[in-house]
Amino acid sequence: MQNIADIAQSFEPISLAQMESVKLMNRIDTKYAVPMTVLPLILEAAKADYYIQEIDGKRIATYDTMYYDTDSLDMYVRHHDRQLVRQKIRVRQYVDSHLTFLEIKRKNNKGRTSKKRIIVPGFAITADTPSVLKHKRKEDEAVTVASFIDAKSRYEWSEITPHLWTKFHRITLVNKAKTERLTIDMDLVWDNVISGEKKTFTDLVIIELKRDGNVPSRMTHIMLDHRIHPLKISKYCIGTALTTPDIKKNRFKSKIRKIEKMLAINNF
């Protein structure tokens, strides 16, 4: 991590306020799984073309996320079964900036992803998260987490429970043309609050490239230079498959084996 931190300091910074201009309304997402040993090479190659997000002097942010699901893990199962229309519900805490959001991610049958969220100050990411927490919206209307879920999700608050606690560190890059963002997630830890099982992948890095339409991307060339190809991967689904006994996971087994093989080769 120290080497990564040193490289991160060598990037030209971009503030959170400046990041607001990178809207990416016609977004194309591409994900990669990368061994930690290769990440310094990728970052060094990206320095000339990318800014790094800096918040309060920090360039590597800490994220805590609690994913919710039904007792039958309907959100996981729909993804596993290749259902085009699906949702994920999570509470994400940006640890360094002390901000916590309740987020609903929705994918439609065209493959487009949308996200709705509200700030939930004081919302603790624990297995016994309270079900009634008030939040003031811009319209100064007092709403509860329960009513937000009921209004914006296909699921009701009463039928979902905390399921998977995910922790990681993130670097965010923005290309200098401001047509793409890149999130780099490291030190992944999945802690299943139902099964009690925990899985740690400190050698795995998940990179997501989000670009404005089909614009050229320097990062796609950097990845090809290192023989790294796109891999569709969901942190929630992989974490659930790894920590939930007796759940169907056939669709994800090949991806898990591919990741484990990649990490074994690069740690040899």
Task: Give the separation between CA 239 and CA 241, rounded to whole angstroms.
Answer: 5
Residue 122's pLDDT is what? 63
pLDDT of residue 142: 47
Any idea which of 65-79, 94-108, 134-148, 170-184 has the lowest mean pLDDT? 134-148
DSSP codes of every residue in 147-212: HHHHHHSSS-GGG-EEEEEEEEEEEEEEETTSSEEEEEEEEEEEEETTT--EEEETTEEEEEEEEE
Q: What is the pLDDT of residues 179-196, one digit of tens each?
A: 888 999 999 999 998 899
pTM of the prediction? 0.87
In this predicted model, which residue has the larger pLDDT, 120 or 214? 120
Name the token pair of 75: 């959100």
Query: One-letter amino acid identity for 38?
Result: V
Under DSSP, the state recorded for 139 is T
Q: What is the pLDDT of residues 35-59, one digit of tens each?
A: 999 999 999 999 999 999 998 899 9
Return the bridge partners of 162, or none. 68
